[in-house]
Copies of this chain bind each other. A is one copy, B any other.
Amino acid sequence: MASPSTTTRVSRRKHRGVPIPATRYDQRLAKILSYATEVFCDKGYEGASMRDLSRASGMSLAGLYYYFESKERLLYLIQKHTFTTIVARLKARLEGVDNGEERIRIFILNHLEYFLANQAAMKVLSHEDEVLKNGFGSEVAALKREYYRICVGLLDHLKRQRSLQFTTRLAVLSLFGMMNWIYTWHNPRVDADAASIAREMGDVFLRGVICGAKARKS
């Protein structure tokens, strides 16, 4: 079985943003997930075969089945890896910050930073949202729900701090839309980096929910 670390078929750039894991096994896992993300991104989950994944990663078909069992498990691992990483980073960054507006800005920056460094992952997550079923599906759904609820919590916190009125669900999903759509248009040669975009999207979104929103009768 060819070691994935020796292949050059997918450029190194694609591995940016994936934290370097501790063990050799974890390192190999992270690389295979990165290759698999690229293949799912290019061909779609339905269109990609284990043979395509083997070709891209330089890992034998037998090795791929031995380590990952199925294409479905690979998609599950990609989604799990993404959400656990992004939530862990977010929690660390929110630590000790109380200002409601500032906490939402941190959420936006954390999200955009991760996904601009991992655009293929964002596309795969968006496109293959409903593919996983049963155990895999419900585990990933729980991770996504946790992430969504963190954002709901941040918005509700701001609402209380500033006595605002808006539909939290619509505001949260509008924010995710603004941020996630970026995988369809961001061009690093034309567009600003994650920090600038986060600042400007944060301005639009926060003014949008704060300015002129009727204050509750207190």
Interface residues of A (CB under 8 A from B): 43-47, 126-127, 129, 166-167, 169-171, 173-174, 176-182, 184-185, 191-192, 197, 200-201, 203-213
The answer to whether B44 and A200 have CB atoms under 8 Å apart is no
Pull 21 A–B residue pairs with CB atoms less than 8 Å apart, ordered by A.
A43-B46, A44-B46, A44-B47, A46-B46, A47-B47, A127-B127, A129-B184, A166-B200, A170-B197, A170-B200, A170-B201, A173-B182, A173-B185, A177-B178, A203-B208, A203-B212, A204-B208, A207-B208, A207-B211, A207-B213, A210-B211
Pair B208/A171 contact, Cβ less than 8 Å: no
Contact status B181-A173, CB under 8 Å: yes
A204:B46 contact, CB within 8 angstroms: no
